[in-house]
């Protein structure tokens, strides 16, 4: 009886999970929903597709560049106040975007919306991880992980419905009623925290922010250009790629040397094998997931004659999203008792076998089989993702949760961009003469990525007590690299 009672999440925590995810889902949906409106916006503003592309690209870059400063702002202002501010900023950007009068104003307002999302997205992880604590981290991350796959699946569907039935402005205005409810509920449910009591208020690492935010954004920009051009060796790709890499290397050097102010993200966290394995595996899950999410609609549309359009694209990837949604809560709950390693290894094996199954499909394969393979690979990756996130927060002390959340979210964003960019290149190069050959190349790429996930999963902590024994606190003398038991 005691175990059953311990396994249940108390109502207050469940309310917090629901309210935080309601606020966080807006940014997740917005990133993919607007991408399907390129043709509509191009015609409405009578401008080039490349210009309209900045409506989505600018949002993504602003989001990425904002994430690092969130780690400092949480300790400086408190998570609750920062969450409410992020909601207001995102809603203000949504309203302004819906009222935009030309393409330049729309891009500027989308930047503001992206900054709001850059505050909210890592805070989802921070708020829930702090409220759950190490003992319930897997269960809460599993519930949160069940929502994350909905963005790529529901975003195109919702965007298609809005464009078919309403004015394009409602892609942004639809956030207002959702956000208003999320804000009012957050006032009641999100606990008040006093940053001065938890940790002394520190000065902002301005140089670190100037290096890390633009560096990460430059890498995302380079990968976005790869996805659009299908080429790595091109000026629009190489320039931001080199610049981004140089800025991030400079940040690492700065973070190791700075003494007068705490770095935004202490790179010494990566000395902990548990931390490094958790964030790396989660980033690779992003690579594999978005590779499949990007290529599946192309396969159905080009090889099986499925209809074009956002609504159809969302339906085509729905089995994979459904697999993740069903798997992650179960895997998260189990990980609180069994640990991350065994579950992640099992999930990676299932995902690898599903990726192999994808390499055997062709233009004549019945959609039921490809849909089944997508469902299974979504479930397999779900059994990797939720335990891995739970493992991360079991190794982080409370004051480092914002840093861990920022690292996790940035690597997930980077993984998604890498996956889409590589798929675009493989389809463009290998599929020039034989499209099916290009698709098979993508599936082999996913298989190779899952094999790396399998190797990384072996480095995750085993049972929860093992994770607790391997802290990821650079200030803790016990935080040294450890081998898996």
The predicted-structure confidence for 191-239, as pLDDT tens digits, reads as follows 887 664 444 446 788 888 889 888 888 888 888 888 777 677 777 788 8
Residue appearing with tokens 């002390």? 397
> Domain 9-191's class?
mainly alpha
Kindly state the DSSP code that residue 483 receives in the 8-state scheme: -
Give the residue-averaged pLDDT of 63-82: 87
For the segment(s) 268-473, the CATH number from 1.10.287.470, 1.20.1250.20, 1.10.1030.10, 1.10.357.10 is 1.20.1250.20
* C-alpha torsion 27→244→223→325, nearest 10: -40
Supply the pTM of this predicted model.
Answer: 0.85
| pLDDT, tens digit (0-9, with 9 covering 90-100), for 26-36 | 877 777 777 77
Q: What is the pLDDT of residues 98-147, one digit of tens each?
A: 999 998 999 999 999 999 988 998 888 888 888 877 777 778 887 777 77
Task: Return d(Cα 229, Cα 234) in angstroms, integer.
Answer: 9
Q: Which residues contact 68 (CB under 8 A, 6 or more apart)?
A: 208, 209, 212, 213, 216, 264, 265, 406, 410
At a CB cut-off of 8 Å and minimum separation 6, what does 126 contact? 70, 74, 79, 401, 402, 405
Helix/strand/coil percent split, the chain, to 5: 80, 0, 20
Average pLDDT, the chain: 82
- The pLDDT tens digits for 230-288 are 677 777 788 888 999 999 999 999 988 877 788 888 888 888 888 888 889 988 998 89
DSSP 95-125: HHHHT--SHHHHHHHHHHHHHHHHHHHHHHH
Q: What is the dihedral of CA 308, 310, 315, 319, to 10 degrees?
A: 110
- CB contact at 8 A, 213 and 68: yes
CA atoms within 13 A on the CB side of 171: 32
Three-point CA angle 220, 281, 438, nearest 5°: 60
Distance between first and last Cα of the chain: 31
The predicted structure's pLDDT at residue 464: 62
DSSP label of 456: H
CA 441 – CA 358 distance, rounded (Å): 10
Instruction: Say whether pLDDT at 380 is over 90.
Output: yes
What's residue 30's pLDDT?
77
Q: Cα torsion for 469, 472, 473, 476, to the nearest 10°?
A: 40
């Amino acid at each position: 009886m005691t175990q059953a009672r311990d396994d249940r999440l108390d109502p207050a925590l469940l309310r917090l999970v629901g309210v935080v995810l309601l606020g966080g889902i807006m940014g997740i949906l917005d990133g993919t929903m607007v991408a399907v409106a390129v043709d509509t916006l191009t015609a409405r503003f009578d401008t080039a597709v490349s210009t309209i592309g900045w409506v989505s690209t600018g949002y993504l870059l602003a989001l990425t560049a904002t994430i690092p400063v969130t780690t400092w702002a949480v300790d400086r202002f408190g998570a609750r106040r920062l969450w409410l501010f992020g909601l207001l900023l995102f809603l203000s950007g949504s309203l302004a975007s819906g009222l935009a009068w030309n393409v330049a104003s729309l891009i500027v307002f989308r930047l503001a919306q992206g900054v709001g999302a850059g505050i909210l997205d890592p805070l989802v992880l921070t708020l829930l991880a702090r409220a759950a604590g190490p003992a319930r981290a897997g269960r809460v991350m599993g519930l949160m992980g069940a929502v994350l796959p909905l963005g790529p699946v529901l975003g195109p569907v919702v965007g298609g419905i809005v464009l078919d039935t309403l004015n394009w402005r409602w892609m942004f205005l639809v956030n207002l009623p959702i956000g208003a409810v999320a804000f009012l509920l957050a006032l009641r449910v999100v606990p008040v925290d006093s940053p001065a009591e938890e940790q002394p208020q520190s000065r902002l690492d301005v140089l670190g922010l100037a290096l890390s935010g633009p560096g990460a954004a430059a890498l995302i920009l380079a990968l976005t250009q790869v996805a659009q051009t299908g080429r790595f060796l091109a000026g629009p790709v190489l320039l931001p790629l080199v610049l981004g890499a140089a800025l991030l290397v400079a940040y690492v050097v700065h973070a190791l040397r700075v003494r007068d102010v705490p770095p935004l993200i202490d790179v010494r966290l990566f000395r902990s094998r548990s931390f490094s394995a958790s964030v790396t595996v989660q980033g690779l899950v992003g690579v594999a997931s978005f590779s499949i999410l990007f290529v599946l609609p192309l396969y159905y549309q080009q090889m099986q004659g499925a209809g074009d359009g956002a609504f159809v694209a969302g339906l085509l990837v729905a089995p994979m999203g459904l697999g993740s949604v069903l798997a992650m809560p179960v895997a998260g709950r189990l990980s609180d008792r069994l640990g991350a390693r065994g579950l992640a290894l099992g999930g990676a094996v299932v995902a690898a076998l599903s990726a192999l199954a994808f390499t055997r499909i062709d233009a004549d394969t019945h959609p039921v089989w490809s849909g089944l393979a997508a469902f299974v690979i979504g479930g397999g990756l779900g059994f990797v993702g939720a335990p891995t996130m739970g493992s991360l927060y079991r190794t982080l002390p409370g004051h480092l949760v914002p840093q861990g959340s920022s690292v996790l979210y940035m690597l997930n964003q980077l993984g998604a961009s890498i996956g889409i960019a590589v798929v675009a290149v493989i389809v463009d190069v290998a599929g020039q003469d034989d499209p099916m050959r290009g698709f098979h190349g993508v599936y082999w790429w996913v298989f190779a990525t899952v094999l790396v996930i399998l190797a990384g999963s072996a480095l995750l902590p085993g049972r929860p007590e093992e994770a607790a024994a391997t802290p990821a606190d650079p200030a803790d003398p016990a935080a040294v690299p450890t081998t898996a038991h």
